[in-house]
Structure 1
Amino acid sequence: MTGGCSIVWFRRDLRVEDNPALAAGVRSGKVIPVFIWAPEEEGHYYPGRVSRWWLKQSLSLLDSSLKNLGTSLITKRSSDSVSSLLDVIKSTGATQLFFNHLYDPLSLVRDHRAKEILSENGIIVRSFNADLLYEPWEVLDDEGRPFTTFAAFWERCLSMPYDPEPPQLPPKRIISGDVSKCPSDTLVFENESEKGSNALLSRAWTPGWSNGNKALTAFINGPLLHYSINRRKADSATTSFLSPHLHFGEVSVRKVFHQARIKQILWANEGNKSGEESVNLFLKSIGLREYSRYMSFNHPYSHERPLLGHLKFFPWVIDEGYFKVWRQGRTGYPLVDAGMRELWATGWLHDRIRVVVSSFFVKVLQLPWRWGMKYFWDTLLDADLESDALGWQYISGSLPDSHELERIDNPQIEGYKFDPNGEYVRRWLPELSRLPTEWIHHPWNAPEFVLQAAGIELGSNYPLPIVKIDTAQTRLQQALTQMWQHEANSRAVLENGIEEGLGDSTDDTPIAFPQDMQMETEQDNLGNRVTTTIRHYEDQMVPSLTVTTSLFRGTEQEEEEEEESSTDHRNGGHDDRRAEVPDDDDMNLESGREGIQSVIPQFNNQIDLRNINGGGGGSHSPAESSSGTSFRRERDGVMVPVWSPGNSDTSSYLQRHPQSHQVINWRQLSQTG
């Protein structure tokens, strides 16, 4: 189709190369590129500071590229993307809208609504795949069902009868539509207090689609060859560093795939087995990104509910001190602390360190996994809802092929595995820089004279471990026992029709995000609109939680057991306080929140995830907890959409459009047409 004027709606596809929506617009005639900044639609998942910094730089480079091609990027500030699209269409006289698919639930619902409303107004709407090798509905098992394990999914992707489409070249020229009646809004992505910290990011990162291509070329022609050997090293530049570029759509995943495959074929012809293996492992990481979108598309609530329903009953620890100490990097475990300090300082973590700190969060501290996922979202440059949800679900044992929840990986052992010489720890923990490598990952075992020579006073300039691994393992086993008991009780409720007396209710309040992760209202500079923003972590304030439960004291246990690659000696007595299964009367419910009905499935290794509709210690030093007394435990309960902000005067996009909470055909929402 040619003629008329087309709107090309940019979102997380900020490139002119291999952009199917832009290519379709250029073929159809005049083009008006549009980007709409509507963070209110994201609710709790308002982009963090470093992510907003990257977005600002990327949009600037995209606009420059479009101007060189003959047009410019129209930017709009809005609280409703679809309404803004209608306004742009009316002011420009456009007759068509082109955009590329996104696969998170909010985007699927928003895109479906855009297609419906704009089609009703006589606008032709078409959407395309620009983010994946294969669409989610193309990769199915032999019975036509979605895969539930990564290995089977990726094997099918690699054996598809047709290769992913090759990347498209950028257009040579773009004919611009009339934008005289559609001026751009000035988008504000940072405040004055953030500019100083953001200035440091530009020393390490160069956002933008052309820079993303340079990073890809540098990796393909350099570290990729030895990726299989060096990828586990925490303190080396051996990874691709492409994830921020991929998240914002600056680099086409199809281009990454095809360039890596060309190298693989070349090395195979040369007999370079190491190079071949490196490409296989790198492509597997690309496959995990594909799988995160696949899971989000087929299981839209994976960012807020555990996919295996029994984890709904896990008694998570609700402890303000634990959460603060973890995010500040003061747990007393050097590898964990180094990772958290790097994250706060740079917005980046090596993928192995991400696993270490998240596993420690879930299994040693036993804090709710959604807290950790939300903190990653707030602080990572490459914060990606689908990938983060997959990673945290994997660590919390919520997937059929996930990390065993009962196994704790000892940070000391992981330290010598990923940072054998202690260089990474010394870089981010200068207080341990003089400690010999022999003790760098377990300073609490170092002789006193070694600590004195290194200038270390444990409990003073470097903390003692917040909780011993053996104590954490014992506590974890107790929590798992409690989880299975409550799961069995809930199953009895469903099977026997018992609705009272077992302490379980499908209306349980979900575990609230810590208060400093909640949304607060402030005035926007554009037209005094009320917007929701995330509070700044200016000094990493201890969160204030909004839910309470009753407590009872756990029992002490002594036992020893050793498992592979982790230390599970459970020989330490501890004071363990857990929360009873709360009744509604025991809860301090936040106003305006309601639970969603859930079904608890029978657990087995062959569980069909499509049928799931529900679910989602040692003593403290005074510095470790604002309460200075104890922690609490709560079950996840039935999760409400995480986009629901804490304030009663604000609402998320999904709240305003309740059709997203119903069982709908998610496949149709994202297909082209």
Structure 2
Amino acid sequence: MPDSSTAPCLVWFRQDLRIHDNPALQAAIERGGPIVPVFICDEKGEGQWSFGGATKWWLYHALKDLADQLADYDLRLIIRRGQTGAELKQLLQDTRADAVYWNRRYEPDVIKRDTQIKETLTADGFEVESFNASLLFEPWKIKNQSGKPFQVFTPYWKHCLKQDIVPPVSVDHRQARPLSEQPASLELDELELLPTIKWDSGFYDFWTPTSTAARQRLGKLAASGASGYVSDRDRPDMDGTSRLSPYLHFGQIGPREVFAAFDKHDSTGVKGGKKFLSEVGWREFSHHLMFHFPHTPTDALRPEFNHFPWEMDEQLLRAWQKGETGYPIVDAGMRQLWATGWMHNRVRMIVASILVKHLLIPWQEGARWFWDTLVDADLANNTQGWQWSAGCGADAAPYFRVFNPILQGQKFDPNGDYVREWVPELRLVETKVIHEPWEAGFDQLNRVVIGRDYPAPIVDHKRGRNRALQAYEKLKALRSK
């Protein structure tokens, strides 16, 4: 085996698709030997959570962006497809490398796979090192006073803020040495990540999936101290959120960079900055929960909810998925999701509430739909969000808290602009009735006929709320037996 000071090192990219603040890449550069950047498409290795359709779209463009970044330093991204362990072994042989470095992931199935790969390669005499690039804190390092994982966000985040936050890693790209003889690589298009039916056409107007775009958006947000974040973040009719979630998921920007940007502008303590950074804290908390409770992507954290009296109905589920529930704020959100691969966070809570409470459809069905349609589909965040809405997770909203989709629309989309953008059937409806058009007179509807041009509500709000509460009472009765 070649001397480690001159032997090549594989840098296995996954959800860290950036060349800045990348500890695995910097550690490989510091070894002194040539660098072999590699991405392996191994959907079976993702377990039951292989890439969804929308995330494949983002992954394609993020990989293209990463390849361009690496090319600036004469490094070629090697793309392979197959079983990860076998492909890494083959690349080690092809390049005569003696080490593999990567940045850690925290999904349960991926942890099992990575552990096996590390054990196998180490036993074969290779150096294997993993690093933290995607979280502020390793989940196993944050514990409550009893030495157990936190299950409530506020004390968790207060504890985290008392810890030192490691600054972003400085990567000395100029010292990176390319490999003189490149191994075989697939072309990016051979991964077939983009859809053959162009349902993704609206994505291109809504997103620029590059690391540069992420840093530019973060820079503007931090420079302003996220001044409008507190007042506007719940308004889907405004551009009041960061829209950094897909960039964070794919690692085109890291949370340490987020904190560093706000530190640079002395805006970590201002009202907007503090609130925005707490949302980054929710992302950390979600990964903390998934690591310590690995069953949660499929089963409720609170085990009693595994016996909840759901009433699965495929027809109602399909209406919800297509944005045809008859509740304008819900339908606007679901159509925004399909068109752009993203949905405003306030609306995510509203559409989740109506699915699991008004319709009594299991939260797992909603989580699966989001997984396939969100460009920012992150297993930890998606799981925590749905369990929060269903009242069955950590720090969750009580199940008896049922959002009123009419009042939610009136409060957070007061002029109906969001509804009009995504539900064109209702563009001419008067503002004062746009969130409950079935109650409007013919003149207020401007010739829109409910039941013909736009559906009537698939469930009456009061009836749906009462049914949800009755189901919760049944669950409590089961628990008392």
Q: TM-score, normalised by structure 1?
A: 0.68
The answer on 1:32 being equivalent to 2:24 is: no
SS of the residue corresponding to residue 101 of structure 2 reads strand
Candidates 346, 353, 356, aligned match of 1:359: 353
CA distance in 2 between counterparts of 1:267 and 1:59 reads 31
- Structure 1, residues 94-123: CA drift from partner, whole Å, max 9, x if none? 111100011110111111011111011101
Candidates 162, 175, 191, aligned match of 1:159: 162
- Which residue pairs with 1:481 in the alignment? 473
1:202 maps to a residue whose letter is: Y
> How far off its partner does 1:209 sit?
1.7
The answer on 1:147 being equivalent to 2:139 is: no
- Which residue pairs with 1:220 in the alignment? 222
Candidates 258, 261, 264, aligned match of 1:256: 258
**Residues 488, 266 of structure 1: alpha-carbon distance in 2 compared, 3 angstrom cutoff:** closer
CA distance in 2 between counterparts of 1:331 and 1:13 reads 38
CA distance in 1 between counterparts of 2:332 and 2:392 reads 27
**Considering only aligned residues, what root-mean-square deviation do their CA atoms show, in Å?**
1.8
> How far off its partner does 1:143 sit?
2.6
1:53–1:189 CA contact under 8 A, matched in 2: no
- Which residue pairs with 2:62 in the alignment? 58
CA distance in 1 between counterparts of 2:13 and 2:394 reads 35
2:331 maps to a residue whose letter is: D
- Structure 1, residues 279-313: CA drift from partner, whole Å, max 9, x if none? 11100110011111111111111111100011011
SS of the residue corresponding to residue 174 of structure 2 reads coil
The answer on 1:467 being equivalent to 2:459 is: yes
The answer on 1:281 being equivalent to 2:275 is: yes
- Which residue pairs with 1:4 in the alignment? 7
- Which residue pairs with 1:341 in the alignment? 335
**Residues 100, 457 of structure 1: alpha-carbon distance in 2 compared, 3 angstrom cutoff:** same
Identity, % of aligned pairs? 36
Candidates 380, 386, 391, aligned match of 2:380: 386
1:313–1:487 CA contact under 8 A, matched in 2: no
- Which residue pairs with 2:94 in the alignment? 91
CA distance in 2 between counterparts of 1:336 and 1:37 reads 35
1:48 maps to a residue whose letter is: G
1:133–1:253 CA contact under 8 A, matched in 2: yes
SS of the residue corresponding to residue 444 of structure 1 reads helix
Specify every segment of 5 or more residues in structure 2 that has no aligned partner in the other structure, as ranges: none
The answer on 1:329 being equivalent to 2:323 is: yes
- Which residue pairs with 2:131 in the alignment? 128
> How far off its partner does 1:168 sit?
2.2
SS of the residue corresponding to residue 470 of structure 2 reads helix
> How far off its partner does 1:267 sit?
8.5
- Which residue pairs with 1:501 in the alignment? none
Aligned length: 476
SS of the residue corresponding to residue 197 of structure 1 reads coil
1:92–1:182 CA contact under 8 A, matched in 2: no
CA distance in 1 between counterparts of 2:371 and 2:267 reads 38
SS of the residue corresponding to residue 206 of structure 1 reads coil
- Structure 1, residues 641-668: CA drift from partner, whole Å, max 9, x if none? xxxxxxxxxxxxxxxxxxxxxxxxxxxx
- Structure 1, residues 10-47: CA drift from partner, whole Å, max 9, x if none? 00000000000000111112110110001123354332
The answer on 1:299 being equivalent to 2:303 is: no
2:430 maps to a residue whose letter is: P
Candidates 185, 201, 204, aligned match of 2:203: 201
- Which residue pairs with 1:660 in the alignment? none
- Which residue pairs with 1:450 in the alignment? 444
The answer on 1:71 being equivalent to 2:63 is: no
Candidates 105, 118, 126, aligned match of 2:121: 118
Candidates 108, 113, 118, aligned match of 2:111: 108
- Which residue pairs with 1:668 in the alignment? none
CA distance in 1 between counterparts of 2:421 and 2:351 reads 17
> How far off its partner does 1:338 sit?
0.6
SS of the residue corresponding to residue 196 of structure 2 reads helix
Higher-Rg member (1/2): 1
CA distance in 2 between counterparts of 1:337 and 1:198 reads 19
1:167–1:252 CA contact under 8 A, matched in 2: no
> How far off its partner does 1:416 sit?
1.3
**Residues 293, 179 of structure 1: alpha-carbon distance in 2 compared, 3 angstrom cutoff:** farther
CA distance in 1 between counterparts of 2:357 and 2:310 reads 10
CA distance in 2 between counterparts of 1:125 and 1:228 reads 44
**Residues 181, 168 of structure 1: alpha-carbon distance in 2 compared, 3 angstrom cutoff:** closer
- Which residue pairs with 1:425 in the alignment? 419
SS of the residue corresponding to residue 205 of structure 2 reads coil
Correspondence list, 1:647-662, <5 A: none
> How far off its partner does 1:250 sit?
0.3
Q: TM-score, normalised by structure 2?
A: 0.95
- Which residue pairs with 2:238 in the alignment? 236
1:136–1:297 CA contact under 8 A, matched in 2: yes
2:43 maps to a residue whose letter is: P
Specify every segment of 5 or more residues in structure 1 that has no aligned partner in the other structure, as ranges: 269-275, 490-673
CA distance in 2 between counterparts of 1:131 and 1:56 reads 20
CA distance in 2 between counterparts of 1:159 and 1:251 reads 23
CA distance in 2 between counterparts of 1:450 and 1:203 reads 33
